[in-house]
Amino acid sequence: MEAGGAGEVDHLAGERATAQFDVDHMKVAWAGSRHAVDVADRMARLVASDPVFRKDNRTMLPRKELFKDTLRKAAHAWKRIVELRLTEEEANLLRLYVDQPGYVDLHWGMFVPAIKGQGTEEQQKKWLPLAYKFQIIGCYAQTELGHGSNVQGLETTATFDPKTDEFVMHSPTLTSSKWWPGGLGKASTHAVVYARLITEGKDYGIHGFIVQLRSLEDHSPLPGVTLGDIGGKFGSGAYNSMDNGVLRFDHVRIPRDQMLMRLSQVTKEGKYVHSNVPKQLLYGTMVFVRQTIVADASKALSRATCIAVRYSAMRKQFGPQTGGPETQVLNYKTQQSRLFPLLASAYAFRFVGEWLKWLYTDVTHKLEAKDFSTLQEAHACTAGLKAVTTSATADGIEECRKLCGGHGYLNSSGLPELFATYVPACTYEGDNVVLLLQVARILMKTVSQLASGKQPVGTMAYMGNVQYLMQCKCGVNTAEDWLSPAAIREVFEARALRMAVNCAQNINRAPSQEEGLYELSPDLLEVAVAHIQLIIVTKFIEKVEQDIPGEGVKEQLRNLCNVYALYLVHKHLGDFLSTGCMTARQGALANQQLGKLYAQLRPNAVALVDAFNYTDHYLGSVLGRYDGNVYPALYDEAWKDPLNDSPVPDGYREHLRPLLKQQLKLSRL
């Protein structure tokens, strides 16, 4: 927990004293409201003070024990939620702070939303109360051994039998085995299964079905259902707490009313009826989850940067040639230029995540009113932001590990497990490359419609300003000029649009559109990234333009926003130069300004990570401790490893002793 208890010494007090802003108000800006800070604080402390939620030994547990520990924590969390009558907001936060991936994530995160989004009112009335009370446990079974990205290529079949008014669920091939769904392997009693709907001899493509998998009496798989876990995954602890599973059906029958029928129906005579709605609504659960993944990216990256900033502030190496105390590694300019852009990115992802949540809610209201005009915008923003933020976060966590030197490689630093748990976010809920290509296709379509005078809307509205953006010249003359939000916005808009137009022109030169899209797909990825980075920068600028209370808070956020934008300019300078958006000199000025911003950020760095308001329990890192008292903690932690249970290791008698004795004999010869 935070420092302040009797006898505790705050080794980072000096760092905290140099902050030039009101940390308490920054906590509000980060969390979204005073209420959000208070609820999060209460839930984090509740979890941290409960011994069942202990996690410091997690990476040392064998898989079976880790899984059992996950079941115990999930059951205990549910018990506390019921006993304390927690609200949905409080319950979600409690689960977040328990911080152990498990079946509940998929139950609440995908099974329930799939039924809400794709079930009729009647189906919702039947299934949701069961799910809400945990009388059933559900998962989301879409991906198969043979196909994940290509959802239309799934092979599982649901064939309607009008004689019995049932669907027959079947896995016709090995590759049709469901493979990966979280919670499926050992915990779930039910699944929303995606399968090809076949009726009257015709294949109508992929639809969702609620299928019971296990007995509610003894949890054994139902007849015709084969179930299991798919095996150990990357890293110790980490995502191994999750029972990602395999599922096969051998002609399993389910009642007709277990097809999710909000978007399309099958009558009892076997007639297929499609409601007058876009078929992509079938993908609605994925859009919902991608939006939550963007919010999670800021949590994971802020955790990693919190650990790296606090540790870098206490760690000392070398010193001035003239003698005197050693230098805090955070004072090295190289450390700052690697770490501060990640800190700025954590804030940027937090605010774009907040905006994306608003967009998602807005689109959902429109869909309810049968207005489908913003569906494409929702798809492009959720897919693109999911891809860009998760890739940057995974890379950022790994960079934070390196920023902590050797100690960052220890499990007790928390960083290896955080990385191993986080990195599959680049793959699940849509491989990042596949998702960026979706965004790029939409951008190419938008460019092709510009000539006809169709005005792009939403986050693509800037493309309508094509005449100006294709020829504008960046007006920056001094390093300070880069502090202008208008200048930053313009170069990001010009870069994104010019890259998109260039790519569209190259595609048009190809023998066919399809061939062009195929040949130029590496360029298309960069086009999509440029567009998404523009969105993140724009939303950060808009955030900073709002009324933000608290002494110095707005100034710090403006600083972070400029760091984020100019770091991207520096990193992608090739894009900006090759599209003629700026000159090499202006690029050098941006880098010069970046150096000045790092110097301004330095005295505020520790306070900026304190504003995340993470408990030591949630951080799970001896290096990131609030009090900065790292060395005794590292030393104590080492002795907890089971390898240190005895001074002479198991295996000495069989493998070390004979070897040593043999060497002794040989040396005597």
Ligand X SMILES: CC/C=C\C/C=C\C/C=C\C/C=C\C/C=C\C/C=C\CCC(=O)SCCNC(=O)CCNC(=O)[C@H](O)C(C)(C)COP(=O)(O)OP(=O)(O)OC[C@H]1O[C@@H](n2cnc3c(N)ncnc32)[C@H](O)[C@@H]1OP(=O)(O)O
Ligand Y SMILES: Cc1cc2nc3c(=O)[nH]c(=O)nc-3n(C[C@H](O)[C@H](O)[C@H](O)COP(=O)(O)OP(=O)(O)OC[C@H]3O[C@@H](n4cnc5c(N)ncnc54)[C@H](O)[C@@H]3O)c2cc1C
Site residues, ligand Y (CB under 6 A) = 106, 140-143, 148-149, 180-182, 239, 244, 424, 427-431, 433-434, 437
Q: Which is nearer to ligand X, 166 or 417 (CB)?
A: 417
- DSSP-assigned states of every residue in 321-342: TT-SSPEEGGGSHHHHHHHHHH
The SS3 call for residue 369 is coil
Binding mask 364-403 for ligand X (x = CB under 6 A): -----------x---x------------------------
For 420, residues 6+ apart whose C-beta sits below 8 A from its C-beta are 234, 235, 236, 237, 238, 239
Q: Is residue 301 a contact point for ligand X (CB under 6 A)?
A: no
Residue 165: phi and psi, rounded to 5, are 60, 45
**Cα 344 from Cα 608, distance rounded (Å):** 10
433 binds, among ligand X, ligand Y, none (CB under 5 to 8 A by kind): ligand Y
Member of 92, 175, 280, 337 binding ligand X (CB under 6 A): 280
- Could you tell me the two tokens for 288? 């919902």
615 binds, among ligand X, ligand Y, none (CB under 5 to 8 A by kind): none
Tell me how far the alpha carbon of residue 376 is from its chain's centroid: 21
Q: Which of 257, 296, 493, 575 binds ligand X (CB under 6 A)?
A: 296
117 binds, among ligand X, ligand Y, none (CB under 5 to 8 A by kind): none
Which among 93-101, 127-135, 342-350, 553-561 is the span making contact with ligand X, rule CB under 6 A? 93-101
Q: Which does 244 bind (CB under 5 to 8 A by kind): ligand Y, ligand X, none?
A: ligand Y
Q: Give min distance, CB of 135 to ligand Y, in A.
A: 21
User: Is 143 annotated in some ligand binding site?
Assistant: yes
- At residue 63, φ and ψ (nearest 5 deg) are -55, -45
- Nearer to ligand X among residue 400 and residue 601 (C-beta): 400
- The distance from CA 537 to its chain's CA centroid, rounded to whole angstroms, is 19
Question: Least distance in Å: CB of 65 to ligand X?
Answer: 15
Give the shortest CB-175-to-ligand X separation in angstroms.
16
Q: How far is the CB of 138 from ligand Y (least distance, A)?
A: 11
Contact 310, 12 (CB under 8 A): yes
Nearest to 29 by CA among 557, 390, 650, 575: 557
Closest CA to 172 of 251, 59, 265, 101: 251
Tokens describing residue 513: 């559109």
- For residue 98, give the amino acid letter: V
Choose, by CB under 6 A, the member of 15, 22, 90, 99 that binds ligand X.
99
The dihedral sign for the CA sequence 494, 497, 503, 504: negative
Task: Report yes or no: 266 and 207 within 8 Å, Cβ to Cβ.
Answer: no
Fill in the per-residue mask, 415 to 444: x = in contact with ligand X (CB under 6 A), - = not in contact.
--xx--xx--x--xxx---x---x---x--
- CB-nearer residue toward ligand Y: 242 or 307: 242
Whose Cβ is closer to ligand Y: residue 134's or residue 428's? 428
Token pair belonging to 193 = 């299964």
Q: Please compute, for residue 579, the number of CA atoms within 13 A of its CA located in the half-sphere on the CB side.
A: 28
Gyration radius from the chain CA atoms: 27
Bridge partners of 140? 192
What's the burial of 546, exposed, middle or buried (CB within 10 Å: 0-12/13-18/19+)? exposed
Nearest approach in angstroms of CB 149 to ligand X is: 5
Binding map of ligand X across residues 60-89, x = CB under 6 A, - = no contact: ------------------------------
DSSP code, position 148: S
Residue type present at position 132: Y
Which member of 102, 109, 119, 456 binds ligand X (CB under 6 A)? 109
Q: How far is the CB of 608 from ligand X (least distance, A)?
A: 20
Which sequence positions are flagged as catalytic? Answer: 429
Q: How far is the CB of 603 from ligand X (least distance, A)?
A: 29
The residue whose Cβ lies closest to ligand Y is 148
164 appears as a binding residue in the annotation: no
Q: Which residues are annotated as a binding site?
A: 143, 182
Q: Which residues bind ligand X (CB under 6 A)?
A: 99-101, 105, 109, 140, 142-143, 148-152, 182, 237-238, 280, 283, 286-287, 289, 296, 300, 375, 379, 417-418, 421-422, 425, 428-430, 434, 438, 442
Annotated binding-site residue numbers for FAD: 143, 182
